[in-house]
Amino acid sequence: MTQGSARIRIGIDTGGTFTDVVAFNEDTGTLTTTKTPSTPANPADGFINGIEKVLAELGATGSDVAAVSHGTTVATNQLLEGKLETMGFITTEGYEFVLEIARQAVPDGYGNSYFWVKPERIVTADRVKTVGGRLDFEGTEVRPFDEDGARAVAAWFRDAGINVLGVNFLHAYANPAHEQRMREILTEVHPEAIVSLSSEVLREYREYERSMTTLVDASVKPKVSRYVANIHERLDQFTGAEHGDREPIPFYIMKSNGGVLSADEVVHQPITTVLSGPAAGALGAGLIAQEAGFSKVLTCDGGGTSTDVTVIIDGEPALTTEGSVGVYPSKIPMIDVVTVGAGGGSIAWTTEEGQLKVGPQSAGADPGPICYGQGGTEPTITDAHLLLGRIPPHLLGGEIPLDVEAARTGIEELAGRLGLSVEKCATGILEISAWNQANALRQISVKRGLDVRDFMLASFGGSGSLLACRLVDILDLAGVIVPLNPGNVSAFGLLTVDVKNDYVQTHVAKDEGLDLGTIDSIFTALQDRAAAALDAEGFAAADHRYDRSADLRYFGQAFEVRVPAPAGDITREWADEVTDAFHTEHRRLYGYDFKGDGDQFVEWVNLRVSGIGPIQRPELAKLGEASAAQPLHDRALASQRQVCFDADDGYVTADVYWRPELLSGDVISGPAIIEEFGSTVPVHPGFTVRVDDAGNLVITRSSSADQS
């Protein structure tokens, strides 16, 4: 088997408009970035195009590729668009209405309940079937499994042509035996069936959430499997593995929990990819911001369709198991990301009452904004930026020309309906978009007890930095950090993450009289499962790392708080350390605790283990320092153009700088525009940009910069 002369790891993130690529040469330690238009009809085309493009820039070939990590929105888009497979649901006899009963929560509170329409069930009642048999909450069999009934159910789904099935039996988290037997019978009677078992998807109590999570997993399994198989086949063709010229290269898919998993394993747990791309971006931005010296960061990942925001503290993103995709709850470990429909392609429109709205509808990559000249007819955020001079008349260094006059014509028509000038309409579009993003940032910060004024904003993505200065004003943020190649931060993040698998087991028990032996055996079993998965991924046992945690609550509460469960022997002292951490975290989250109150029992609910296999991370390069011998204007000033930052002030002359020519220590005052291959940063009047030694743009209000 021949191998290439270089070892190149590639991170590739497929977005709604562009596919972002970062290549890391393990031999030289260098990073190379590029972008290529996404191909919504067949995302695999954009995937391979991106790899071909970055390798051509490196003078390398497919044989030089050592590994590929991929962030995908296939599962997310399928759920957001509601294009689900026709599914069936098998549950315990007597519990056939668990999906209909659901939870009583009403979006936006009961004040809107009169207008709220209960969303359509993920599986309609006629496709829900039950099987006799019963386990108790400890997993003990109360009634034996009804095998004849199971066969009849399997035959019904086979005859109805329903091939995608979710199985959730009562208390299967404590004992998976009945579910496993159901799958064996389905394999025998209905071999075409694609099956997800709740005991494998989410071994945690609460029947509704476990049912929904299992069904979401089943619903995306066929499409994700087809997509991954197609990508894998194309990748093998490209690298020569298909013809036996080399071993198949490692191919990883980003997971929602902040880790990656081999593509072969992802098809067995596709629900773990529902926030694949946003998770990679949050991790990449967190690492960059931490290395720049910022410990409290809000990330703003602006793409063509939406903007994703999250909180990073000390380099670690906030995690949750209470997430959802669209209207579907997915109780799996995921980075806590809030998404708002405010991307470069978001469409501006008017309501019947004549109000201006922006998004969540998007022109995407096809047909795209009006200025793309590909058939788009509705004005978008990108058209507004172009009209106001805040972005250049082209994208990707000239690869995609933009039609300024077409954008003006589209916005003029909208402005006429609103009775506004074209500039006021365009700035209004951007103001609404900025407030949409600001509200999402408030949701993950202010509404969770964090003082947003203590945070820097890490803005990235192709459109992430376009409204950065306005967000500082709206939220009173400390400032903004814009990484090098901001349009490729998600792809960069894919090269920084480890392989990670999460395992959970519900075990409800009062802390007083806790059976330490049972806790120890559960943690051991979970760690054994994690170790087996890491072994299958090719990691040596000496490289395995395990993180333990536990979900605790006060007796009578309906929610839990997750805290670390340190490594070491399971002793009473160890348990006390965990409960002390729970009291502290409960006070931080909710402002009170019951430590020392003998009337308030602490209850253990879930035990968790994460198995982690480390991957080599690229190091961030340092930028050269500016000097008097190379004046900023002579070196980096590319041009000047008329830019409108405020419709009342009209257009002003702004210096346009080419970012690749900037050096550490450079300082730029607004009004100015900083451009690079994949993105643009408009620097509003009253703001100052400092370039740090890693090439990040650190933007603050001019008064703040002067005081420092």
Instruction: Kindly list the averaged pLDDT for each block of 10 residues, start to end, along the chain of length 708.
Output: 64 81 85 84 86 89 87 75 84 92 66 61 92 93 96 97 95 94 97 94 88 91 86 81 69 84 82 80 89 92 84 85 70 80 86 86 82 90 94 81 93 93 94 93 86 93 90 95 89 87 91 94 95 87 93 91 93 95 90 83 94 82 77 91 92 95 93 91 96 94 59
Alpha carbon distance 492, 592 (integer Å):
40
Q: Which two tokens stand for residue 696?
A: 């990040």
Q: Which two tokens stand for residue 340?
A: 């708002």
Helix (H) or strand (E) holding 301: strand 296-302
What pLDDT, on the 0 to 100 scale, is given for residue 499?
85
Largest CA distance in the chain: 86
Stated pTM of the model: 0.79
Residues written for the chain: 708
Question: With contact defined as beta carbons under 8 Å apart, do 605 and 575 qualify?
Answer: no
What pLDDT, on the 0 to 100 scale, is given for residue 323?
67
Cβ neighbours of residue 223 closer than 8 Å, sequence gap 6 or more: 74, 75, 78, 85
What pLDDT, on the 0 to 100 scale, is given for residue 110?
52
Question: With contact defined as beta carbons under 8 Å apart, do 17 and 38 qualify?
Answer: yes
For each of the domains in the chain, give its residue range(s) and CATH number, in order of start.
8-79+224-273 (3.30.420.40), 82-223 (3.40.50), 346-432 (no CATH), 499-613 (no CATH)
Q: Which two tokens stand for residue 678?
A: 């994949």
Within a 13 Å sphere around the CA of 398, how many CA atoms are in the beta-carbon half?
0
Facing residues of 625 across strands? Answer: 664
**CA neighbor of 347 nearest in space, from 329, 360, 336:** 360
Per the listing, tokens 């509601």 go with: 82
The amino acid present at 340, given as its one-letter code, is V
**CA neighbor of 334 nearest in space, from 281, 284, 272:** 272
Q: Which two tokens stand for residue 590?
A: 């909710």
What pLDDT, on the 0 to 100 scale, is given for residue 414?
93
Facing residues of 688 across strands? Answer: 669, 700
What pLDDT, on the 0 to 100 scale, is given for residue 707?
41
